[in-house]
Structure 1
């Protein structure tokens, strides 16, 4: 049986009972890359990684929330520096696309904070996990190229064809969630993107529709994603699962 890697999950946002259920039922999952929302989230993910060997933490600050003040930024970066040997990547970081659409907030401070995270990833020689969709993605690509970043992960990516090709040409990776099972937009994206740079994720505990409606988001859902990717790419499920595993292990040096 091939094992897959959930390349993006917020394990710390599940309650203790849910985490217990997840970790008892992941025999077919090799690892879970648990990204962080803020400093408290970083600390919780570090605790989870100490409890469960399959949990690989990433530390960062999710952009879909108010900006930190300078003292808070310095506190977060000091903590990450102190604990960087225990993390697998910088993330989740990026730009606040959905918040900006809802509240019309300015981008400037978020770009500055993201650039600091890009510099951190460069300094630590680690992958960076990105929340960057639609028109925000080219801005993020500019920053990555400016600092010669070679290992980047655009999670749950959505964007235009030009940006999609740019991400692929730069050797960056994207991941798709279980919505590939029922969303044509994501199926088309997977069709266009090289399978050698594709990964699967849940973004749990984010809930899904279609056949997953009403279910707690579980890492096993990526097995269904892999089946759809196999069909789209015209390969066997075995081949797709092996390639998705290889891709994630390569990016995250697992």
Structure 2
């Protein structure tokens, strides 16, 4: 395991919540290491998103293993092949049976990066099945009155905003968002939330977004085990890194550290209905 890049002291500080992590994707020993260190690093809880049915099932198991700490979201990640109708029906039936156990529908969205890669390689890419998949997930969220956790960046976010309006879903969390100024303004006005990863320390596009997005609609996340660059290069992504993201956001906003942590913590609790 790699050491923490920062000497940021969090002892005695208000807690934070990792608003987006793929906890099921870690190796068992890495996951145990992370979970054992949460209290030390003032991480109270995490939103554990899922990418398919086995992932959902593992997220549910982890929530049972770490009650009150791991809050599972169930969905189908868009940066992979669309499931068959049989696979999708099986997933939706399982989600329906476990609706009371899920904090949100996610991770869902549209395959921006897969599509860009295909286009760069000269391959055709049919977006329509992904839109139809997303609509099925939004219908489920609407039926069960669940928030949605979205993978939707740049031009895709415009279509996703249209679909959220179509299905009257107002509780939407766009994780690790990037997009055009008019899309950002639209999302902010609609009350949608976004979350900042540790790249808020070194990515100018994210730093600028952090300057302008409404403070009452932001959270912090790791998207672990996705690795980061800058001061985090070579480190295993750990939920403790939200402390660094929170500190960076505080500096960008010109807020005292404790006030910023309180805002981020309360925003996450409010959005996800954590009592």
The reply to whether residue 23 of structure 1 matches residue 35 of structure 2 is yes
The reply to whether residue 77 of structure 1 matches residue 97 of structure 2 is no
Report what 2:105 is aligned to: 90
CA distance in 1 between partners of 2:79 and 2:190 (Å): 26
Report what 2:72 is aligned to: 57
Deviation at 1:160, TM superposition (A): 0.4
Deviation at 1:153, TM superposition (A): 0.2
The reply to whether residue 126 of structure 1 matches residue 146 of structure 2 is yes
Find 2:81's aligned residue among 66, 70, 73. Answer: 66
User: Which protein has the larger Cα radius of gyration, Structure 1 or Structure 2?
Assistant: 2
Report what 2:208 is aligned to: 188
CA distance in 2 between partners of 1:120 and 1:170 (Å): 21
CA distance in 2 between partners of 1:143 and 1:209 (Å): 33
CA distance in 2 between partners of 1:234 and 1:106 (Å): 44
CA distance in 2 between partners of 1:67 and 1:121 (Å): 19
CA distance in 1 between partners of 2:57 and 2:118 (Å): 29
CA distance in 2 between partners of 1:209 and 1:215 (Å): 9
Find 1:35's aligned residue among 49, 62, 65. Answer: 49
Deviation at 1:182, TM superposition (A): 0.9
Provide the secondary structure at the position in 1 that maps to 2:149.
strand
CA distance in 2 between partners of 1:151 and 1:99 (Å): 26
CA distance in 1 between partners of 2:31 and 2:251 (Å): 31
Report what 2:16 is aligned to: 4
What does 1:91-110 correspond to in 2, within 5 Å? 91-104=106-119, 105-110=125-130
Measured against aligned partners, the alpha-carbon deviations of 1:78-115 in whole angstroms (never above 9, x if no partner) come to: 00000111110000000000000111411101001101
Measured against aligned partners, the alpha-carbon deviations of 1:193-220 in whole angstroms (never above 9, x if no partner) come to: 0110010000000000111111110011
Deviation at 1:148, TM superposition (A): 1.1
Provide the secondary structure at the position in 2 that maps to 1:220.
helix
What does 1:101-180 correspond to in 2, within 5 Å? 101-104=116-119, 105-180=125-200
RMSD of Structure 2 on Structure 1 (CA): 0.6
Deviation at 1:247, TM superposition (A): 0.6
Report what 2:4 is aligned to: none
Unaligned regions of 5+ residues in structure 1, if any?
Answer: none
Deviation at 1:72, TM superposition (A): 0.7
Moved more, 237-246 or 103-112: 103-112
Provide the secondary structure at the position in 1 that maps to 2:243.
helix
Provide the secondary structure at the position in 2 that maps to 1:148.
coil
Deviation at 1:233, TM superposition (A): 0.8
Provide the secondary structure at the position in 2 that maps to 1:129.
strand
TM-score normalised by structure 1 residue count: 0.99
CA distance in 2 between partners of 1:69 and 1:147 (Å): 23
Deviation at 1:150, TM superposition (A): 1.1
